Every structure is written in structure tokens, then in C-alpha cells.
Amino acid sequence: MSGEILDNQGRGDAGWSWPPIHPEGRKYGVIAVGISLFFLWFLNWGFIGWPLLALSVGVFAFFRDPERVVPQLGNSIVAPADGVVSLISLVEPPLELQVEDGSGSRGLPPGPVTRISIFMSVFDVHINRAPIAGTVRRLVYMPGKFMNADLDKASEENERQHILIERGDGILIGFTQIAGLVARRIVPFVKPGDTLAKGQRVGLIRFGSRVDVYLPAGTDPKVLLGQTIVAGETVLAELGSQGLLEGISQ
């Protein structure tokens, strides 16, 4: 199915299948299985081996990498992460995405913009995707703490990685992968200069974390606080579109 075109007129072929495991996670799953089998076969300690074997299944599930059908509407910004919209607020973009970095490429302009924060639990898919098509202009890693990623200050104090993508028409979208209380490593799949398709995989964060997206000025979210969203499929916003949206939790 990868790369196949599907539309709202029924074109294409789709069906459910077991999601593949990303190569980054296979080694961890194999190690977990090996340890559980050691306790089961060599030590005959079932009270440890069986829970570890169940944990091994969880490790494989954490690194699952399902295919996604990415909407190709020209001005749409898609979600870079699975999870729950935990914060929507007006903030200044991170300095790392604003200031001149010596590369000659533009950064985000100063001034308050809407930030959408997506919290990923350990049960969510943790492969992150490009919110727009374009060229990677910046990839900035920042060491930091590992406090609860659901906290507002995690965007400034936790370990994080900023990514800046420029569309062909010059529109810039910045987003940040933030490590959480359990997450201990951010793994990039891209580098500055890479050309990305919308929804293309850009990296992952291990074991619970958060992604912040900074919308351009004059653009409001099309998602609501508390909404569950899907990376590469849910439309976060449409460039230049503004207006209040309300929902009822029920």
C-alpha cells in the first residue's frame, strides 16, 4: 500500500493489516524476548519470565509503524504525532528556530504564534512525521531535563529537538520533539537539506513524549483541546484560515 494514491471517490485498495515494526525498535524487542526466555528456560523462573515476555510484546507494539493516508490539500498542515492535544497557546517560537544560525537560511519571525502541543503516551505510535512538504532548514538538538512532557515548561527545559521545514513558496513551519519523563532519546531520520513529502517519517522519541507545532501568524488550529489526533492524517490547520471552533466533551 505504501505510496499508493487513495481518494474520496473510492480509488485505491485499502485493508487492515498488522503494522510493521520500525527497525529502530526490533533490537529492543529481541533483547527483551531473549531476557524473558533466559528466565523461563534456563532458570525456570516463570514468575519473572512470563511478565517479561508480556513486556516484550509491549516493546514491539511501541515501535509499530503503520501506514498512513496523508491528505494532500495544498494549504493543510498535518499532525506530526499521534496523541492528545494537551495545550493550545500563544507563545514566542523557540529562539533556536528564530535566530540566525550561520547557514544563511531564514528562521521563524519573532512575535507570538499559536503553539499546538501533542502529548504521546506509551500506548501511542511514536513515529513522527513532517507536517508539510518542503526542505529541512534546521535540525537543532538541545540537551535538557526529563520531567513530565505534559507540563508547559517542558518545551523549554526538557531534552528536545527543533526541526524547521520550508515549503517551496517560502512558508516556514517549525516543530519540536520533546523527551518526557520516561523517554530518554530522540532519534532523527532526517538532516538539514533533505527534501520531505508531507507526512514523511522524520524521527521518533522513545517511550512517552510530546511534539509542539508552531503555526504561522494568521493561522488558527482546526483541532480542539483534548482531541485525539493521528500523525500524517489529522489536519491541524490550514494556512491563513482563522476562526473559533468549539467542541463538547462527552
C-beta separation of 206 from 126 below 8 A: yes
Please identify which of the residues 2, 103, 209, 241 carries the catalytic annotation. 209
State the cell numbers at 51: 511478565
Q: What is the dihedral of CA 98, 103, 104, 106, to 10 degrees?
A: -30
d(CA 191, CA 141): 12
d(CA 12, CA 68): 14
Q: Catalytic: 105? A: no
Residues forming the active site: 209
